[in-house]
Amino acid sequence: MGNDIIFSGEYQDIPFNRFIRDIERENDVHFFYRQEWISGITITAKGDHLSLTGVLQQNLAGTGLNFYIDNKRNVFLTPLDLVTILPEDPDYEQHDEDNGSRGDKGTINTSQKYFKGQKTRIVETIIIGTKEKNISRNRAIINGK
């Protein structure tokens, strides 16, 4: 793999966070993860010219974690059940009604927006210019989906 990192070392059932510190310090690599994801995971590897990809594949099997190494030597750890495609959910346009006194229509609940994203609005016809149909100058209608 073009993005793989080669290193040497001897690790016998060491906590994953200690392995990460060693690899980052000695190899100019940066890991991104949440502490609770790696809690209880240990790493075992020994040798010269170890492949980080190989070591992670062997030691993360069955842990519920996946990883990705980019071309800038960043290692991203993610849970296997990470949602990458958002389901259809009418709740994610829900508004906080207590903001109505400010004159706006409320804000989208922050936690819903973070976890589910904001629903896009599909417009089939866009009219640019005046609403009066008898005025054709400076008017455009865009139809489609």
Structural domains of the chain in order of their starting residue, each with its CATH number? 6-79 (3.55.50.30), 90-143 (no CATH)
Residue 111 to residue 128: CA distance in whole angstroms: 35
Residue 118 to residue 109: CA distance in whole angstroms: 10
pLDDT for 101:
46
pLDDT for 80:
81
26 to 47, 49, 128: CA distances (angstroms):
15, 13, 59
pLDDT (tens digit, 9 = 90+) per residue, 75-117?
Answer: 999 888 755 555 555 554 554 454 444 444 445 555 555 555 5
Residues of the chain with pLDDT below 50 are 1, 92, 95-96, 98-106
The 10 Å Cβ neighbour count of residue 23 is 23
Question: What token pair was written down for 145?
Answer: 């989906």
pLDDT for 123:
60
Residue 28 to residue 72: CA distance in whole angstroms: 10
Q: What is the pTM for the complete model shown?
A: 0.55
